[in-house]
Amino acid sequence: MDRAADALGRARQIALACHINPDPDAIGSMLGLAGYLAARGKDVVCSWGNEPFEIPRWMSVLDGRGFVVKPKEFPQAPEIMVALDTAAPERLGMLGANAAKAAEVVVIDHHRTNPGFGSIVVLDPAASSTAELVYRLTERMGGELPDQAAACLYAGVVTDTGRFQYESTTPETLRVAAELRRHGFDHARMAQVLFEDSPLAYLRVAAGALHRLELVPEASLVWTYLTQQDLERARATMADTDDLIDVVRTAREADVAAVFKQQRDGKFKVSMRSRGDHDVSKIAADRGGGGHRLAAGYTAKSSVEESVADLVRALEASKAA
Ligand code: 5GP
Ligand code: MN
């Protein structure tokens, strides 16, 4: 943390990136840090490595759009690059090449599967969110945190804790959230945009996915899937479906919930959640993905049927272990 504070304090130009298909903790921690650094007179630029590059709808409640550039406009060989909420270099997508050429790479993250890539690593798997870590870093560096930057960090904390629900919510998390809430921003409107803003198209896709929910009692698994065709029929986008896993995980009958979501390239991205009896980060990491003990993901190598069978075997093995 001290080395990160020192390096960022000395730099003039800072390039910030977060993981591909960013969630509010990725973008919130990135824009929050960018807003804080800009207020200290730094020249900042932000991006993430998706092509095509799309701005998520909920970003409308986060100030800092002005810092964001397309990945192609991101500095090729930054003097200092910060990777936020990024569990592995691959999660930088096309910005991985920029990180490889950066003189210094500061990694700020809370994923337990992060191998600690980068030249300065601020990694705390016990932290609720990357935004919580960024807030602690700004306290360490001192000076003023602009209201808009505080709002971005709050968005990261409130989403990654499941609105202060998950086990990662510590007294320290609530202290950070309380400090952030002192700033001037409309948290109730933010919560509406973050949590209660589904297009009908998504609700219809979710209805279809819930209709074909399957329970595998011997693995304590409940699962479903979504195809590109489902999305096309309902005119929904994959980004609309981030919250589907949060509905599936409420199934009382299973400890583990999984949603298999077909990407544009045809491969299925797997989202997993556990109520507490399984370490899904380990299952994900064994399959080239990663995440947290109770929330993790990976990209499946085969069909849904084969991937479910593989997941069932992994869950049964982890029970036996
Ligand atoms: P979600 O299911 O919401 O996409 O992801 C749950 C958690 O697992 C997030 O913290 C996310 O960063 C992590 N995760 C999801 N997919 C991958 C992946 O392919 N690789 C890694 N390293 N982490 C992932
Ligand atoms: Mn996060």
Among all ligands shown, which has an atom nearest to the Cα of 91?
1
Measured by CA distance, the residue closest to atom 7 of ligand 1 is 296
Q: Is the dihedral of CA 236, 65, 119, 4 positive or negative?
A: negative
Which pLDDT score, from 0 to 100, does residue 2 have? Answer: 98
Q: Which domains does the chain have, with CATH numbers?
A: 2-195 (3.90.1640.10), 200-320 (3.10.310.30)
Which pLDDT score, from 0 to 100, does residue 321 have? Answer: 64
* Distance in angstroms (rounded) separating the CA atoms of residues 259 and 176: 32
Residue 283 above 70 pLDDT? yes
Inter-residue contact 297 to 286 (CB < 8 Å):
no
Strands 295-299 and 268-274: antiparallel
Q: Is 108 helix (H, G, I), strand (E, B) or coil?
A: strand
Q: What is the pLDDT of residues 27-57, one digit of tens each?
A: 999 999 999 999 999 999 999 999 999 999 9
Task: Measure 217 CA to ligand 2 centroid, in angstroms.
Answer: 30
Average pLDDT over residues 122-134: 98
Q: Is 283 helix (H, G, I), strand (E, B) or coil?
A: helix
Q: What is the pLDDT of residues 56-83, one digit of tens each?
A: 999 999 999 999 999 999 999 999 999 9
Backbone angles phi, psi at 162, to 5 degrees: 60, 50
The fraction of the chain above a pLDDT of 90, given in percent, is: 97
Residue 253 above 80 pLDDT? yes
Measured by CA distance, the residue closest to atom 13 of ligand 1 is 291
Among all ligands shown, which has an atom nearest to the Cα of 127?
2
Residue 291 above 70 pLDDT? yes
User: From the alpha carbon of 87, which atom of ligand 1 is closest?
Assistant: 22
* Distance in angstroms (rounded) separating the CA atoms of residues 223 and 91: 25
Kindly indicate the confidence band of residue 318, based on its pLDDT and cuts at 50, 70 and 90: confident
> Token pair for residue 234?
């309902």
* Distance in angstroms (rounded) separating the CA atoms of residues 58 and 240: 11
Which pLDDT score, from 0 to 100, does residue 136 have? Answer: 98
Inter-residue contact 225 to 268 (CB < 8 Å):
yes
Q: Which residues surround ligand 2, an ion (CB under 5 A)?
A: 25, 85, 130, 160
Backbone angles phi, psi at 273, to 5 degrees: -140, 145
Query: Ligand 1, residues 23, 111, 123: which to mutate, most atoms within 8 A of Cβ?
Result: 111
> Token pair for residue 196?
């209660």
* Distance in angstroms (rounded) separating the CA atoms of residues 113 and 99: 19
- Residues flanking ligand 1, CB < 6 Å: 87-88, 91, 111, 113, 245, 271, 289-292, 295-299
Average pLDDT over residues 288-292: 94
pTM greater than 0.85 (yes/no): yes
Average pLDDT over the chain reads 96
Inter-residue contact 141 to 5 (CB < 8 Å):
yes
Q: What is the pLDDT of residues 224-244, one digit of tens each?
A: 999 999 999 999 988 889 999
Longest dimension (CA), the chain: 58
Full 3-state SS string of 195-261:
HCCCCHHHHHHHHHHHHCCEEEHHHCEEEEEECHHHHHHHCCCHHHHCCHHHHHCCCCCCCEEEEEE
Residue 221 above 90 pLDDT? yes
